[in-house]
């Protein structure tokens, strides 16, 4: 027994490098994936929130577990139960199937606000908006109803009297959600415009969702009040929304005197222009509407 013990120890020593190499191979993350924390930062949400969606299966994209860590594909997006039901529903014969990846859910949590936005580009104009600011809710409802997209917004702010942080962060998250829902933009018209009247107000809007975030907003609301929002906040909201959404946005108030009418007409016109831009073009045959092959940047 005493003579065999050194041999057993020698065999174990020789085997250890092989076992270690196998374990290292098993622990390697799949290629073309990123850490959960990195993708959470890209989506503007906490790692814990994204992990919850992954565990619930409310994501679209590759996921893999390496030990206690989760790795995901760099294009992974969060989906909603409504989207999963829609994708699982058989399409009646003779009707075109709805394009995939046209919905998104984005959450952003900071020390000032907590905002969640869910958007479905192939909706019917349904909305559930609760930001804590009645005027902001009213304007967001115009985007959903007249853009024919389904929209859910849940937001809490830090209670500043002018709701600056609240409105700004809702704009950021809404822009990010729209960009995710557009995705590669295959088959969309990409550009849209609208002229919308509301009593004495008349507003013209043009958009290009080609990935180049830029805004020129002449809202003629400086120094005015629109509900609890300062008039300057309407323009600031649209600017942040355009930058985060990769949207080239031009807004021009052609005429008007009532601040409420001008603001509401602006959001209705933005909605109509976006509706035209993200619609599927039957002549495009699923092509990316860009000579450079992408509308993501």
Residue 213 vs residues 247, 249, 250: alpha-carbon distances, Å? 4, 8, 11
Strands 114-120 and 150-156: antiparallel
At 190-214, the pLDDT tens digits run 999 999 999 999 999 999 999 999 9
pLDDT, mean over the chain: 83
CA distance 276 to 5: 80
Over residues 228-236, mean pLDDT: 93
Residue 233 three-state SS? helix
At 115-172, the pLDDT tens digits run 999 999 999 999 999 998 999 999 999 999 999 999 999 999 887 777 889 999 999 9
Which pLDDT score, from 0 to 100, does residue 56 have?
73
CA contacts within 13 A on the Cβ side of 108? 24
More reliable by pLDDT, 189 or 100 = 189
At 4-63, the pLDDT tens digits run 555 555 455 555 555 555 555 555 666 678 888 887 776 666 677 777 778 777 787 788
Residue 8 vs residues 2, 13, 15, 23, 245: alpha-carbon distances, Å? 11, 9, 11, 22, 64
User: Quick one: which of 214, 215, 218 has its CA closest to 254?
Assistant: 218
Q: Are 173 and 107 in contact (CB under 8 A)?
A: yes
């Amino acid at each position: 027994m005493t003579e065999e013990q050194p041999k057993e120890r020698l065999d174990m020593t020789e085997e250890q490098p092989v076992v270690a190499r196998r374990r290292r191979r098993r622990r390697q993350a799949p290629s073309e994936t990123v850490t959960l924390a990195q993708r959470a930062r890209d989506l503007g949400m906490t790692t814990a929130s994204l992990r919850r969606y992954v565990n619930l299966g409310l994501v679209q994209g590759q996921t893999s577990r390496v030990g206690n860590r989760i790795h995901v594909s760099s294009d992974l997006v969060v989906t909603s139960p409504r989207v999963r039901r829609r994708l699982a529903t058989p399409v009646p014969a003779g009707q075109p199937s709805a394009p995939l990846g046209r919905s998104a859910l984005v959450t952003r949590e900071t020390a000032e606000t907590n905002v969640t936005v869910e958007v479905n580009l192939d909706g019917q104009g349904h909305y559930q908006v609760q930001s804590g600011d009645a005027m902001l809710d009213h304007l967001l409802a115009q985007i959903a109803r007249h853009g024919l997209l389904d929209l859910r917004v849940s937001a809490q702010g830090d209670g500043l009297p002018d709701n600056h942080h609240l409105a700004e962060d809702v704009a950021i998250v809404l822009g990010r959600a729209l960009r995710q829902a557009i995705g590669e933009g295959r088959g969309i018209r990409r550009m849209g415009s609208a002229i919308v009247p509301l009593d004495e107000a008349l507003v013209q809007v043009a958009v290009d969702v080609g990935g180049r975030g830029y805004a020129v907003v002449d809202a003629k609301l400086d120094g005015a009040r629109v509900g609890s929002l300062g008039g300057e906040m309407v323009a600031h909201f649209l600017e942040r929304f355009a930058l985060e959404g990769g949207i080239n946005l031009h807004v021009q108030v052609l005429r008007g005197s009532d601040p409420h009418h001008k603001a509401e007409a602006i959001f209705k016109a933005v909605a109509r222009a976006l509706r035209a831009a993200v619609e599927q073009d039957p002549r495009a045959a699923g092509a990316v509407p860009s000579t450079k092959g992408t509308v993501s940047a």
